[in-house]
A and B are shown apart, each in its own frame.
Chain A
Amino acid sequence: MHRTRIKLEAVAFTLPSLLLTLALGIYPIFWAIRYMFYEYAGYGTPKFVGLYNFERLYHDERFWNAVTNTLVYAGGKLLVTLPLSLLLAVLLNRRMRGAGLFKTIFFMPTVLSASVMSIVFYVIFNSYNGMLNQLLQQLGWSRGVEWLGANYAMLTMILIAIWGAVGNYMLLFLAGLQGIPRDIYESASIDGARPAQQFFYITIPMLGPVLQMVMLLAITVSLKGYESIMVLTQGGPFGKTDVMFLYVYKMFFPVASTTAEVQQFGYGSAVGFAAALLIGAVTLIYFYASKKLNSLY
């Protein structure tokens, strides 16, 4: 009797959490799985179309453009962010004056809203009279750069993403570095190992597991991000910065500047599902590749 009561109480304590998660976290996923087989514009009765949405996806150039852009966006961001944040972490891991202040500054973007900062970056990168072009002009570069134009918009978006992410990964790497005993470095430098040698023969191998975990996190996070692109370019110009999840978003909530869009809940669900699968696939490939690398060591 007493035991059942205790169990009931525990269940009661779990219920708010479980009900909220089931209703607003799990149910929407099943909703999407259902509607990806339907054609549904938000009014009238949804029409069952079987696998048609996936056939359409296969031939949808805008989707594949978004896939390519996602890979460029995430890849570009990671190629700079990871080495840079590791370098910063190694530099700050030494005993030096001001290390705390540097850490505070580098981590700060992580605390700030991506959408709000995107508005600030809009003022900075704006091609016509943005702050950066004004600065370049004062330095004698009279023509300026069309930062948000077709040629440079993706690069600009990558730069903004790097700005926002470096501090976060620096901190994760720092935590990993602090787990490496300092005497290893001391005995290595007594043996005459130079800083570069120490980095490649001690730091990298000892950091192995942390490095792998951080990279896994970094890959999935960067493939999913679209908030600052949405605020800054809405995927434009000419779809140059359209990424997968932004494309999904537009299927559900057409944005003002792209008037040609109509709500397409069925097809949108299929695109969202495909995007999730692609991200899963990339993660798996990374997972196996890093395991292979592990056995080489």
Chain B
Amino acid sequence: MNRWSKRPSGANVLAGAFLLLVAAVILYPVLMAVLGSFKTNAELNGGGAFWPTHWQFANYSKAWKGANFARFSWNSLFVSAAATVGTLIVAAMAAYAADRRDFPGKRLAIAVQASTMFISIGAVVLKPQFDLMVAVGLHRTLWGVVLILIAGHAGTYFMLASFMRSIPRDLDEAAMIDGSGFFRTFRSIILPLLKPGLGVAGLFVFRSAWNEYILPSVFTMTNPKLQTLTVGLANLRYGVSAAMQTDLMLAGACISLLPLLLVYLLANKSFVQVTAGSVKG
């Protein structure tokens, strides 16, 4: 095996070429989105060159101010941040109680969490969820979306529970003996030690909240002010303006993609670790 990496054999060249080809195909749409976001509409629709002839930074200000992407970005950021913090708190508390204590109904609570991960009836659930939010008066704010996202915390719950299991019980027992209560042990012993787990889980929650499309699109159908980036962008495709605004679409797409791309490049070890960890169990 080692021999392979030193002397390029025919098979090795072939493998390398294949990997490069796949990498090119994977990168192509993202690259086209980034380069295209700097082209004029005429250039995009008329079959221009690979590189923009004149870099149209104005596309971004057009999207940001004219097409409301400043508003969409803020909404996305709010939903994602609130959902991340809320999910982490709710899931960490529940995981702590389940891992460290016995209480009536514990097995049922765990089973309820697990069941939500396996049952899926599609968009049907959005209707009763929306009705509930109307009943509590949250359907005209983004808090409704945030609450529904937090409610889907089963994955985070199990992920944090497995992190929690690796924190030695002796630590919190010692703290308890020294008079630290259930809550204080959680706050000053468990949470600090859980930080790596919270970081990784938070990354995943943030990603899926930021990318969520169907839920916010249903909740903001009659309230364009609350639209997130994904919804605002998709509306450019089916919007009222008949003329296709390709330049706006691509600039908007980049505004939505780039923050996550940046996070991914900085933290791709964490993404990779957890995804791989889900196999090893």
Answer whether A and B are interacting partners.
Answer: yes
**Does A253 sit at the interface, judged by CB under 8 A?**
yes
Q: Interface majority SS on B: helix, strand, loop or mixed?
A: helix
Nearest Cβ on chain B to A243's Cβ, whole angstroms: 10
In the assembled complex, how far is the CB of residue B261 from the closest CB belonging to chain A, in whole angstroms? Answer: 7
Selected A-B contacts with CB under 8 Å, 6 pairs: A7-B103, A28-B128, A29-B121, A108-B264, A119-B234, A120-B30
Q: Indicate if A245 sits at the interface (CB-CB under 8 A).
A: yes
Q: Is the CB of B11 within 8 A of A32?
A: no
Chain A residues within 8 Å of B124, by CB: 28, 31-32, 248, 252, 268-269, 272-273
The proximity string for A residues 148-161 relative to B, scoring 1 for CB distances below 8 Å and 0 otherwise, is: 00000000000000
**Of A124, A175, A214, which is within 8 A of B280 by CB?**
A175
Convert A212-246 into 0s and 1s, putting 1 for each residue whose CB lies closer than 8 angstroms to a CB of B.
Answer: 01100000000010110011001000000000110
Kindly state the interface size class of chain A when it binds its partner. Answer: 35 or more
The answer to whether the Cβ of A185 comes within 8 Å of any Cβ in the partner chain is: yes
A287: CB under 8 A from chain B? Answer: no
Residues of B in contact with A (beta carbons under 8 Å apart)? 1-2, 4-5, 11, 15, 18-19, 22-23, 25-27, 29-30, 32-33, 36, 44-47, 89-91, 93-94, 96-98, 100-106, 109, 112-113, 115-116, 119-129, 132, 147-148, 150-154, 157, 181-183, 186, 207, 210-211, 213-214, 218, 221, 229-230, 233-234, 236-238, 246, 249-250, 252-253, 256-257, 260-261, 263-265, 268, 271-272, 275-280
Contact A11–B119 (Cβ < 8 Å)? no
A120, A214, A275: the one within 8 Å of B32 (CB) = A120
Q: Are A256 and B238 in contact (CB under 8 A)?
A: yes
In the complex, the answer to whether A249 meets B122 with C-beta atoms within 8 Å is yes
In the bound complex, what is the Cα–Cα distance between A10 and B46 (angstroms)?
A: 64
How many A-B contacts are there with CB distance less than 8 Å?
289
Most chain B beta-carbon contacts within 10 A, residue among A11, A25, A29: A25
Q: Establish whether residues A116 and B233, one from each chain, have CB atoms under 8 Å apart when the complex forms.
A: yes
A275 and B121 within 8 A (CB): yes
Assembled-state Cα–Cα distance A107/B121 (Å): 28
A122 interfacial contact with B, CB 8 Å: yes
Q: Contacts A28-B125, A268-B124, A276-B120: A120 and B272 contacting too (C-beta < 8 A)?
A: no
Within 8 Å by CB of B151, from A20, A134, A178, A195, lies A20
B265, closest chain A residue (CB): A104
Closest partner residue, chain A, to B36 (CB atom)? A123
Report A-chain residues with C-beta under 8 Å of the C-beta of B112: 18, 21-22, 25-26
